[in-house]
């Protein structure tokens, strides 16, 4: 077992005194590697909470730079950082919050060529993107690599999330077989989003990551959690793995491919 320093015992004391987590659970967190795809509205709270929790290595992928319009919801960035890469802005905040963690960054957009290589070293993947092309690609790559991951999506006043464990639970394609037709879903830029919605869903995704890492509780396997913040109603829909799923059923996906252009996009569309 790892020897905790006095600083670590103090920093993580509220985790350690949790009976379900304790020293062993905190050690699992500190030995884990989590990849966040997107340093925007969802990625911001996810990254902050995972860094605060002491996740040993946090990877962040994002090809965009900080824009003034991001600041209404992407809380990891500041006005002074407009124009700099989002991954660099995020790295600065995470290291300031917890200098004990490692932060690996890629200033690129994911695609069928690079995603398998990037996700390979990580224990858990988090989808913080806002377009269907990226979401379906992430699902395919994680299923193919056997990587557990958290799906998240937000728009206007609503959010949804599910957690996928390849080989055991249903995947994203079991529930949503194909991206919707172009133009059938309003864009983030035209429909808008209440900034706090990103925080609500991002913290749920961070909690799911910590649950999977520590083995505490019941992750959102085979369940789609959705909420409407206007009424503050939450609901969970249960479903089962589709044996005929084109991604995880039968022989499953063998080759990654690019999907149609993003439906819901703001600028480069990797960050809600």
Active site residues: 188
Alpha-carbon span 21 to 16, nearest angstrom: 6
Inter-residue contact 112 to 258 (CB < 8 Å): yes
* Burial of residue 112 (number of CB atoms within 10 Å: 0-12, 13-18, 19+): middle
- Bridging pattern class, strands 124-127 and 149-155: parallel
Which 3 state secondary structure label does DSSP give 261?
Answer: coil
Alpha-carbon span 184 to 58, nearest angstrom: 35
DSSP per-residue codes, 187-253: -HHHH-B-HHHHHHHHHHHHHHHHHHHHT-S---TTEEEEEETTTTEEEEEE----TT-TTTSTT--
């Amino acid at each position: 077992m790892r020897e905790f320093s006095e600083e670590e015992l103090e920093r993580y004391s509220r985790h350690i005194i949790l009976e379900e987590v304790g020293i062993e659970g905190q050690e699992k967190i500190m030995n884990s590697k989590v990849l966040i795809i997107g340093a925007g509205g969802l990625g911001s709270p996810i990254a902050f909470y995972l860094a605060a929790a002491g996740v040993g290595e946090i990877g962040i992928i994002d090809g965009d730079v900080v824009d003034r319009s991001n600041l209404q919801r992407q809380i990891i960035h500041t006005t002074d950082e407009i124009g700099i890469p989002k991954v660099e802005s995020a790295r600065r905040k995470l290291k300031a919050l917890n200098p004990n963690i490692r932060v690996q960054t890629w200033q690129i957009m994911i695609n069928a060529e690079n995603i398998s290589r990037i996700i390979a070293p990580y224990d858990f993947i988090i989808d913080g993107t806002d377009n269907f092309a990226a979401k379906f690609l992430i699902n395919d790559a994680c299923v193919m690599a056997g990587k557990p991951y958290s799906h998240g999506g937000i728009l206007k006043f609503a959010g949804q999330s599910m957690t996928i464990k390849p080989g055991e639970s249903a995947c994203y394609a079991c529930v949503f077989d194909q991206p919707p037709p172009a133009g059938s879903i309003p864009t983030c830029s035209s429909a808008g989003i209440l900034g706090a919605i990103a925080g609500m869903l991002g913290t749920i995704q961070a909690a799911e990551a910590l649950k999977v890492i520590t083995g505490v509780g019941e992750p959102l396997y085979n369940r789609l959690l959705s909420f409407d913040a206007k009424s503050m109603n939450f609901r969970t829909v249960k479903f089962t793995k589709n044996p005929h799923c084109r991604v995880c059923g039968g022989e499953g996906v063998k080759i990654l491919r690019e999907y149609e252009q993003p439906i819901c996009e703001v600028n480069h569309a990797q960050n809600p």
